[in-house]
Every structure is written in structure tokens, then in C-alpha cells.
Structure 1
């Protein structure tokens, strides 16, 4: 027996459980399952269906081998199963269920779920519980753990395997884990015992992807838990490393320890868009990868595509190449990949220079590059979380502020607000806001799956030159920490007009609809400064036209121009917050108008504009470009389909 395998057997047994009715007097055992993450049990759905088909919320109990492993009967409920009709036969690809413990404080072992989409045949170790009433006097339980050795004979479709005819499973084992002794990973879930000439079947763990968002949640918890166990003496990673594949492996090989660290960092990232995982993994392997089973839905699944046909990991630089591209993809969409990047950089230093350079020079494939893909600004019918900061001017130069998290529910609940009825001086506004803003962003980011939530600042036109996009919410932050970029570099940040609260007027809606139907945008410059702006310039502007001002918006010519643009119904405009308020244009103005024209011409539709500008700001902040025309540019993006609600009832005026 391979070195390390007996210890993996013990860990698998410790994670294996059985199901019992809620009533402690009942003795009937339903079947087996096993812990895959803290508080989460995986089993075959058919184990639970006879008892839960009429009431899926019925509580029951989960128990392990109390004598050896201390998992006492614990209350649990079905979280979700893949079954479409609990009154019909359940096909193998749908025969999975996830159960959740009702007590979060139960300590237990968790199995290691393999990340490969394709599993080779060969020997397997099957675990589960079976009724053993004859042993109850000695063990204190009428149920005993069972382990058997079987051979995975043939694939039974993409998501199941059949075992050789000699395999026979005792009653109760269904739902138990199937361990691959070569890799030390659980690859399948027991479905059935011997039927006719076959030795039984098992469901591939790849079918877990059908759970979608719940799969991402559970596997992220799985990977974090195993990484947290790294360094202890009795854990899956250490025992897997002793199976032989890691023995004598140098830094150019991808080890079990590399894998557990990488998957933990991948679990911290925002989820990928559909199709991205396969394209990045295929780009790394320089081949189109054949689809097996459900499409990859996590970055972890892409890691599992980097093995050879025998289940052996490819060289370390291949995995690091993939991780590098994942980090680049995440950053291009405003996500935080700092932890992953730092770990990859440290691991790269162990490689020979030529392999290190190969990874460091890696770039996203064209179809996934940051130049082609942007995150559109959410519309009224999209489920999104937007942090809204509303500013109202009070007498004597003070400002009242409040923060909302707009989730599309129309309840307009206030998240935080200024308590002083006299407001705060505008110069101190950021200091009063930043703690509450940081908390609001944390809530909205988590609700949105980890992608930085957009931010809207609603303010009077006289405050349009407030440098909101330069605000930072921390006095100090770790170097290179993307979470503490200026607001405009971290998030899709837009300004809205406070005078447009409530029901939008027809001109505003008509102009917005015209821009939406026109597709690509076009920059529209004011007349020469010697000719003061007139209303016709804005009312007769082409449908795709966006006013671009090299003036400040809060005074002089720019203030008049913004007022006319608002009167004409414009919902989108660009201007320089440090531009001139009078006098002739200079070289900086020409650079602004050239750059804005190029930016808008590349913008395929209005919702792309906030994120395109955000990425320019990020490049400026990270010194990827210097002296850029857009550093002082603000954007109004005022969507009448999502009007700012009327002022709330309350003390917003100075007494």
C-alpha cells in the first residue's frame, strides 16, 4: 500500500457520515454521505428523496462514527438537490444533494474533492455506513463503517462510472465517498450497488457544477478549509504528497502544496464570466480543450484542466501561467487579485530564469484582453448593487450627506447619513464619509459576488468639480493593495444631478433613449470661447453626441454650458474639474478633446463608458501612463430609467 494511503483512509472515514430521522428514538438509517466543507455534506439525492419528497424542509440528523471520530448526531436540512422530479427515477447526472448542518460550531474532517474534469479508471476505495445491529452491544451504535476496494471499469456517460462486476455494496453505502488511491482525491459519490451483470455505479463529483452558485460557495469553503489545515501534521495535503507523485519533485514540478495554496487564492476571487475558464486554460495549453460534463464555473475548474491523460499535473510554469492570466483578467475588470499575484510572484522566483520570463510575459488572449471586454454599467432591469452618495447643499457652505445601497428593490433605505442638522463643511466631507462608505462598499461588493460595486455621487451642479474620483478611503494602506485605489480607479464612479430627483422630464428620457439607440458615442465640443454657449448647441446635438468641456463645470462658461446641457435633456457629459472658467483654450484643452473623441469612438454603447474611464484612471494611478488627459476628467452618467428618489422626509435643512 502506498505511503500516505492509510492516513487518507482514516481521514476519509472521519469525514463519512450517515443520515437518521429527526426523532432520536428512531433507528432507521437512510444512507451515507460525507463532509466536503465546514457544515456541508454531499450525498446521493436518492438517499434523501423517499423521506423529503413531500417536505424538502423536513429536518433530520447527520452522524459519524462517534466511537472513533466524535461526530454525534447533529441536526441538518437539505439545502439543494439536482432532482427535477422526486417521484421519478433519478438519472446519475442528477443524483446529488447538498445538506447543511444547522449548527455552525460542529468540528469535523472534510474530504478532498479532486479538481480534474476527467478521471482515469482503475482501483477505487469506497466508504459508507451499513446497518450492523449485531455489533451494537460493543460499539454503542447499530451502524458501522464499511470500506471496500473496487475497480472503475467504464465511463457511464460524462458524469458517472460503472464498477467491475465483482463489486457489491451493502445496503446503506449509497451516498458515500469514492477515493482514488493514486491521487488521494475523492472523485465520485456511490449511487447504487450491483444490478444485473454490473458491479454498481457512482456519480462523478464534476456533476457538482450543476449546483451553479452554490457549487462556487461550497468549493471555495472547501479550498479555504484545506489550505487552513496546511502545516498541521495530519492533513490531506501532507498525506497526498507522500503518495509518490511529489517525491523528489523539484520547483519545476507542481506539488500538492502548490495546488492547495493556489486553489485557496483562486477561491478569494470574483467568479469568472461564462466560457472564460476554458478559453484561458486552452490558451495556456495552446489547444482547444474538449468539453467533458458541465462547463467550468469556477477558476478551480480551470486548474483541473492542466493535467495530462494519466492525471499527472503538468509542469509548474503551466499552472503559474494560468494563474497569471486569471489575475490579469480579474484586475482588468476592477477585481482585487493582490493575494494571488503576490503568491504567484513568490513561486515564480523558484523557477529557472527562462521559465520565469515565460510566465511574466504572459498576456491575455485577444478575446479576453482588457481592451475588448468591459463591465457595462447596470440598467434598471439588472440585478445589481450600487452605492449611492447623495449630497444636498445647506446654507453657509455646508453639506448634508446620506448613503444608500440601491439593489433595485425601490425601498430606498438609508444606509448612513449625517446626524448634524447643520451639515458639514464641504472641505471635510470626505473625512465624514469615508468610514461609512468603506462599510457600504464592503456590503455591496459581497452581495455582488466580489466585483467592486459601482458608485454614484448625486450632487448639485455647483459641486460638479468635487474631485470624488481622487478620493481614497484610507489614510494609509499596504503598498500594491488594489482595494485601496482611489475611488475612480477602483470603481465605476459617476456623477448625477441632484436637481433631477423624482420623475424624469420628457426631454431627459427622449435624449437618453436616442443615445441608447445610437450605439457608439461621439464627442461634441463647445464653440470657441469668444462665442458664449447657446441652447441650440445642445438641443440640436446628434443623438450619439456627448458634451465634452475643457472648462470647470461649477463656474464661468462651464457652469452655463452644463446648465444648458441639463435643460436639453443630456444625461452624459465629460468635463475637466480643473479646467479654465474663461479665456482661450490651450494645448491641454486640445489634448483633452482628442483623447475624449478617441475614448467615445471606442465605446460601443453608453453603459461601457464608466468602466472604460475607470480603467484609464487605474492606469494613471499605477503609473502605466503619465500626463494623461483624463486625470482630471469627471463623467456625468444620469440614467432617467433609474431616477434618484425625492428627498427623504427629515432634517436636511439648517435650523
Structure 2
């Protein structure tokens, strides 16, 4: 056993052991009570500076913005609210503190008259605002914790010198209390001391390199304690109402996000640090069965893009139809596609070719499964088929490959027919916000005074044009502009808003100021971010398409089949130059270009790329203002922004779609955190900017 949180385990794997331990420690968190005076509903959800509240225990990030811990740790927070402290920047030892909300606990309460929290004693905490952090890799196998002799546990404990430090110890899993199908089953840890504060921390199968359980308790006055297997999360309650989206089922939402996170990092070419998949490939017993860590990571990422199984029963039926598979011996029962894959590692088939055939057959069954939770997209189906084809070409005989090709042809034909039918579905009446009064904010850099800005606020009356509200041409530092114009904006909104229908805010700035976070400004009148209250869009003071050329629209003027997002400044997580205007104009109509690498204060080349988008005549464009490091993995952003644009269907709906996302971020909806700091340029073709005069110049 070692208590040195900075070192690796001793043994023959040296750097691999240290790398694995580092990956676990980066994702292990401290859980505290909220500090005195903390108000979780304040904008941004930030805790006050100073000492954190009482230390409650440990936990770990199981997926982006999701923490797994013990119920007896999480439920000690006030009203289910805790503060989570973790390493948010891998280049710094400083800890980030973010509020979290207990979303679910198993069980939800402690029965009266009991001293400890009964098993499974698990809880999921959701961060209340976006934050960068690492995540552990969680085993997809049932019973992965049982009878393991190479177990490592990590958690935060009190240091002999004061304060809290990470602790890691070596243990053995020596039997269990309760049968395999007993919800109260816990696994006995022995051969080491479990320290106070480790409850909720991860239990790692060190030979395979994956998290298999959660530390539950310690034995008073002697070595050892108990842990709960990670598969007990499968006992989370299945929603009683129809599941329409992935986020309707917490279990599916968390593990789909988990698998996409690890697949994105495995598939990305940026960065030099070893990923979980890299380290697992170096372990004594690489996980994934015949697949190994790399093929498994790629497959799980593709499965996580698909709607989940209709039910556990339907998943069991699929597994039972495969040769040599005994799914009903697995406890808790498999619930998601990843769980089904874990079952396949323990089939009665031993021949290599036959084992690959079982996995491939499972994937084909996934492609044809019932889907109450949304339709299977052609793109995602092609991605999974591409993985199957890759395996079949190397591992399976020609006759079976031909059969698989024929099956895929039938699947693809059905998917294409479904898509064509969906495209023919008429879009409901457009939003047509152009017939509403709106508010226009101009912010402009003074030409004679660096870093000094003028501003003016007007109401754009649909019937009568511009109505000036207030202006300031004396110049002010950019950071003071929000406070100076807050009263003017509040007055303008009062003149335009209707009950349940807030007016849109058009922010007119030069392209190099498109990073101005106006949607994050907070007005004293309501204490809420502007973007969460109303649609906020960018307009260009440089030029807009209507000034010199037609907006890019379908020549026929018929109903639109839908919008299509195109990331134009990033390929394979690497920044690229925005194409020239001629190339941009070749993109299909109803394309919404996306700038993934715009940042907060862009360089001259990035700003010039925005100008090229405007010159190309695009009606709308999306920009990510959050700064990106050279090794930032941005595939989740690409994935989600594509979905959001497709959901909007028409450009005039985009401002409302972005408004919905901003409101969701403010409400702590994890599935929308990807959109934090996104900005929308929208040159409304039906609403030219009003001419309300020039700024006053200083005498």
C-alpha cells in the first residue's frame, strides 16, 4: 500500500502504473457542504471565496459534469446541494470549486433506526455550471469487482500535516456480503487500511485499468472495508413515462456521455498525454476481451451515438439470440448497449473468429432494434456499420462478409426511406420575428483612443424605424460598458417586451468583437443573464449580406428541407484556416458555418475568417467564444452543434434555439453545457438594421 498521491505503484509496469494512477487522481473530487452564505440559485452558481464548507467525502467524475459518490456522502449536503472541488486545469495544482446538485441516490433516504446507509449507497451529483475536468473509465462488465486481487482505491483524506490530500491504497476483493442478485450486495476489501474521507472514491481494477466500484465503508480499528460494484448503477429507476430523448433516462444519459468522452479522446490526434485507452493497452490484462481497449473504445463511442435499447427485456432478447451468450447470469441485468457488450466478453465461445462473429452479430442487432427513443440517423448507422465492416474484413470469412453486406443494404434502404419521409414533413409556420419590435445595441471602438468604446441603444420599431433610448460617445473601457448601459437596456426592453414574449436583442459590433459576451451580462433589474431571458444575436457593423448581395437562400423559394452545420475552422481537433469566399459560396444552401476556434479575443486571422463568412453571404453563423488550447478535443461540440442546427430547421428559428440552450445552461441542464459561450451571428434578411445616426464625438 502507498499513501503517496504523487507517485506510481511499485512493480514491473513503471510508467504505465503511474499514468493510470494519475488519470484516476485527476478525476477524483472532494465533496463539501456549501460554505456559509452560499446561495445556489445565484447567477452562475458560484460559491463565495474563502474556506470551503465541511468536508463530506470523495467522489469521481464518471462523465462530463456527472460525479458518482456514496449516498451517505452526497445526502449530507443542505437540500441536496454540495460543493465539488477538483483539478480543472491539468497544468495547475489549483482546485476548481463548482456547486453540484444530488440528482439521484440509491436508496433515496436512510431508513429510520439504522446507523449506516444501506447498499447500494450510490448517488449521482450533477454540476450546476460548465467546467473542464477529467473523467474515469468505468468497466462495462458485470461483477468486475468480485474476487480481484489487484485493487487500488483512491480518495481525499486528512493529511498529517493539515489539510486534505489524495490517498491511494492497495487492497484485495475477498468475497461479498449478499448474493449476486441481491441489491444490498457489498464486496469486502481487505489487506489495507481504508482511511476516513475515502467513502465515495473510485475502486480500480489495476490489472485491467478500469474503475469497477465505489468505496463504501471502513472497518473501525482494523484493516479493510467494503465497496459497491459499479454495475449497481443499473438499478437506477427506469422512467415511467415514455422515453423520447436520451436525457429522459439518467442511466443512459450518463453512460452515453461517458463512452463518447473516451472515444473522442482515443480518436483524437491532438495532445501528447496518454489516454485511458492508451494506458489500458499497456496493462497486464488489457480489457475488452477479444477486441482489446482500442477497438472497444471505438465501438462504444459509436454505440453511444445511437438511441438506447427500448427496454432491458428487449436487450436481453437480443443477447439470448446470440450463440454461447448467457445474459441472464449477469447481475445486475444489462441495461444499455455498453452493458450488452460487456456480456459478450464472457461467452461460452472460445474460438477467436467465432467471438468476433458474436460481436458483429450483436452490432447488426443493435442496428435493427426497436427505437421508441428517436429514429436512428443514417450518419450514425453508417458509423457503426463502418466499424463492423472493418472487423469483418480482417476477422471473418468471405461468405459471412457477403451476408453482412446484404443485411446492411436492407438496413440502409429503410433508413434512407425514413429520412426522405422526414424531409418531406413540412416545417410549421416560421417564427417571423421581423414583425416584432426589437432592441439594438451598438458597441464601437473609438478610432482615436485605444481600448475605449462608445455605445448606443435604440428600439427598432417595426412600423416607424429607430427610436433612440440612450448613448455615450465619451468612451469607456470595455469592462465598464455593461454597467453604463444597463439602465438604457432595461428601459428599451420595457418598451418592447410582451407577456411571455421577450424582445430580441441585436448586438451590432465589428467582427473582431464577436467574442463580446453580451448574452452573459446580468441586468440588476432581474439578476439574470441576458441570453437566458431573451434571444441575443450578433450583427455586423462592417457589412451584412443585404448591403451588397442576396442572402444565400434556395433558388426555388420552396419549403426548406432543414439546416446543415459545417465547421469551417477545425478538422480532427486541429485549427485550420477559414476557406476563401469563393470556396465558402460552394457550400450547399441552408448551410450554417460554425467557427469552433473563434475564442474570446480573436487574432487578426480569426477575425478575417469571420469577415469572409459575411462576404460569402451567410444568413447565420455560430461561433464558440470559449478559448481552446492546441490539444483541446472538440468533437462533442461539433456533434452537438450539428444537432442543434438541424433541430432549428430554419434560420429564423436559430435565435430561439440558442436562447433555449442558454436558458438550459443557466438552469444547470448538463446536456446543454456544451453550448456555454456559443454566439450566434444572424443577419435577418427581413430586418435591416435601422439607421439611428452616428455616435456623438467629443469636442
TM-score normalised according to structure 2 size: 0.49
1:25 aligns with 2:48: no
1:49 aligns with 2:75: yes
Which of 200, 211, 215 aligns to 1:186? It is 211
Cα deviation for residue 20 of structure 1 reads 1.8
Q: Deviations over 1:1-43 (max 9, x none)?
A: 3532331111111111111232243553100001111121110
Question: Which whole-Å CA distance do the structure 1 matches of 2:350 and 2:154 have between them?
Answer: 24
Question: Which whole-Å CA distance do the structure 2 matches of 1:150 and 1:207 have between them?
Answer: 21
Question: Which whole-Å CA distance do the structure 1 matches of 2:351 and 2:226 have between them?
Answer: 27
Q: Deviations over 1:126-158 (max 9, x none)?
A: 1111111x424xxxxx00111111111113333
- After superposition, the Cα gap between the structure-2 partners of 1:87 and 1:432, relative to the gap in structure 1 and judged at 3 Å, is farther
- Between stretches 254-263 and 318-327, larger displacement belongs to 318-327
- After superposition, the Cα gap between the structure-2 partners of 1:101 and 1:65, relative to the gap in structure 1 and judged at 3 Å, is closer
Which of 321, 329, 333 aligns to 2:369? It is 329
Question: Which whole-Å CA distance do the structure 1 matches of 2:169 and 2:387 have between them?
Answer: 40
TM alignment of 1:242-641, pairs within 5 A = 242-245=282-285, 253-274=290-311, 275-308=313-346, 315-329=355-369, 334-336=375-377, 337-353=381-397, 357=401, 360=404, 389=426, 432-435=558-561
2:172 is aligned to 151
2:84 is aligned to 61
Taking only aligned residues, the RMSD between alpha carbons, in angstroms, comes to 4.7
Question: Which whole-Å CA distance do the structure 1 matches of 2:84 and 2:189 have between them?
Answer: 33
1:113 is aligned to 138
Cα deviation for residue 242 of structure 1 reads 0.7
Question: Which whole-Å CA distance do the structure 2 matches of 1:170 and 1:312 have between them?
Answer: 42
* DSSP 3-state at the match of 1:206: helix
Decide whether the 8 Å contact of 1:18 with 1:63 is kept in 2: yes
Question: Which whole-Å CA distance do the structure 2 matches of 1:111 and 1:145 have between them?
Answer: 16
TM alignment of 1:202-241, pairs within 5 A = 202-211=227-236, 212=238, 213-230=249-266, 231=269, 232-241=272-281
* DSSP 3-state at the match of 1:295: coil
Decide whether the 8 Å contact of 1:19 with 1:32 is kept in 2: yes
Question: Which whole-Å CA distance do the structure 1 matches of 2:64 and 2:350 have between them?
Answer: 28
Decide whether the 8 Å contact of 2:203 with 2:211 is kept in 1: yes
* DSSP 3-state at the match of 1:116: coil
1:546 is aligned to none
In the alignment, structure 1 segments of 5+ residues that lack a partner are: 137-141, 376-384, 392-400, 405-412, 414-427, 440-472, 477-655
Question: Which whole-Å CA distance do the structure 1 matches of 2:193 and 2:125 have between them?
Answer: 26
Cα deviation for residue 310 of structure 1 reads 12
* DSSP 3-state at the match of 2:136: coil
Question: Which whole-Å CA distance do the structure 1 matches of 2:136 and 2:321 have between them?
Answer: 31
Question: Which whole-Å CA distance do the structure 2 matches of 1:277 and 1:32 have between them?
Answer: 34
Q: Deviations over 1:365-395 (max 9, x none)?
A: xxx9x99xxx9xxxxxxxxx9998589xxxx
- After superposition, the Cα gap between the structure-2 partners of 1:390 and 1:97, relative to the gap in structure 1 and judged at 3 Å, is closer
* DSSP 3-state at the match of 1:349: helix
Cα deviation for residue 277 of structure 1 reads 1.8
- After superposition, the Cα gap between the structure-2 partners of 1:84 and 1:39, relative to the gap in structure 1 and judged at 3 Å, is closer
Cα deviation for residue 357 of structure 1 reads 3.1
Question: Which whole-Å CA distance do the structure 2 matches of 1:239 and 1:312 have between them?
Answer: 26
Which of 94, 116, 129 aligns to 2:156? It is 129
- After superposition, the Cα gap between the structure-2 partners of 1:309 and 1:148, relative to the gap in structure 1 and judged at 3 Å, is farther
Cα deviation for residue 358 of structure 1 reads 8.6
TM-score normalised according to structure 1 size: 0.52
Q: How many pairs align?
A: 392
2:27 is aligned to 15
- After superposition, the Cα gap between the structure-2 partners of 1:261 and 1:433, relative to the gap in structure 1 and judged at 3 Å, is same
Q: Deviations over 1:104-132 (max 9, x none)?
A: 132x2211000001324122101111111
Question: Which whole-Å CA distance do the structure 1 matches of 2:357 and 2:590 have between them?
Answer: 38
Question: Which whole-Å CA distance do the structure 2 matches of 1:229 and 1:70 have between them?
Answer: 24
1:643 is aligned to none
* DSSP 3-state at the match of 1:153: strand
Q: Deviations over 1:251-291 (max 9, x none)?
A: x9412001100000000001111122222222223444224
Cα deviation for residue 238 of structure 1 reads 0.6
Decide whether the 8 Å contact of 1:18 with 1:29 is kept in 2: yes
1:100 aligns with 2:123: no
Question: Which whole-Å CA distance do the structure 2 matches of 1:403 and 1:313 have between them?
Answer: 59
* DSSP 3-state at the match of 1:433: coil
Which protein is bigger by CA-based radius of gyration?
1
